[in-house]
Amino acid sequence: MQLGFLVDLHLCMGCKGCEIACKVENEVPLSTWRLRVKYVDVGMFPETKRTFTPLRCNHCENAPCERICPVSALHYLENGIVNIDKERCIGCAGCVMACPYGAIYIDPETQTADKCTYCAHRIASSMMPACVVACPVEANIFGDLEDPTSNISQYIQDNQGDVQVRKPEKGTDPHHFYVGGGNLQLNPLASKRVEGYSLFNKLTTKMPLGGHH
């Protein structure tokens, strides 16, 4: 079994339902996130468009975070999930430095690394990840990539030519796909970041990491 995610960006309407469901399900502390939806506006008035991109851990097959972790706190599960053992983590932040997708944060409460686990605990009880359940337009498609009859495999088949992963050049082999995305949504360097449009950046207490907030 090789679990994977696919987000159909044609469907996503940026409601942030998945983001909130994830926060609640996993008790993600203030100022940090496992999954968030990024808005990028494109074009000049009146020719403008807003894009929405849910971003989470890709559960890479060749995961740099797993490789760099000195104590195997980050490890693969048999179903392909890259999981984290917070009791084992020493908080070296090597994984934060290694993940090319900025998917890991240091939990300000436990002072250990944390990230999306595809809701491994729910999957163990045969439930779907919280974000999948919350999405009102079923933009999140989750399932077994090794099973050709699964929803995700069929979606990939049906959308051949329009399926992308983030930063393929990093050789991480992500198990997280996007349909209907492009450079603007998937490449963080293709859009400008202007001060003042960020959530969570005005908090003064319990910030996850030092400096530069």
Partner 1 sequence: MVHETLAATHAVVTLDVGLPGIVWPWKVTMNMWAKSIGTGIIFMLFYLLKRYPKESGNLRFSSTVVALVFIHMFLLFTLADLHQPLRMWHIFFYPHWTSAITVGAWMATLFVVMLFGMAYFSFVKKDNAKFDKLMFWTVILGIPVTLYTAALMSEATARELWQMPTESAQMMLAALLAGSASMILLGKKLSYEAKSSLGVILGLSALTAFILYQSELIFGPMKSEEVIAVLAYVKGNGEYATMFWIGQFVAYVLPMLLVALSRSGRSESILKLAAILALVGLWVVKHVWLIIPQLLPMS
Instruction: Find tokens 């907030």 and name the residue.
Output: 213
Residue placing its CB nearer to partner 1 in the complex, 26 or 150: 26
The closest alpha carbon to 31, from 114, 148, 140, belongs to 114
Binding segment toward partner 1, per CB under 8 A, in 1-9, 22-30, 132-140, 199-207: 199-207
- Which helix (H) or strand (E) segment holds residue 133: the answer is helix 130-134
- List interacting residues with ligand SF4 (CB under 6 A): 57-60, 63-65, 68-71, 73-74, 82, 84, 89-95, 99, 101, 103-104, 112-113, 115, 172
Which of partner 1, ligand SF4, none lies near 212, with the C-beta cut-off 5 to 8 A by kind? partner 1
Give the number of residues in contact with partner 1, rule: CB under 8 A.
62
Site pattern 99..138 for partner 1 (x: CB under 8 A): xxxxx-xx----xx--------------------------
Q: Are 171 and 58 in contact (CB under 8 A)?
A: no
Instruction: Find tokens 């060749």 and name the residue.
Output: 62
Give yes or no for a cis peptide into 46 (omega within 30° of 0).
yes
Give me the least distance between CB of 102 and partner 1, in Å please: 3
The Cα–Cα gap between 159 and 182 comes to 14
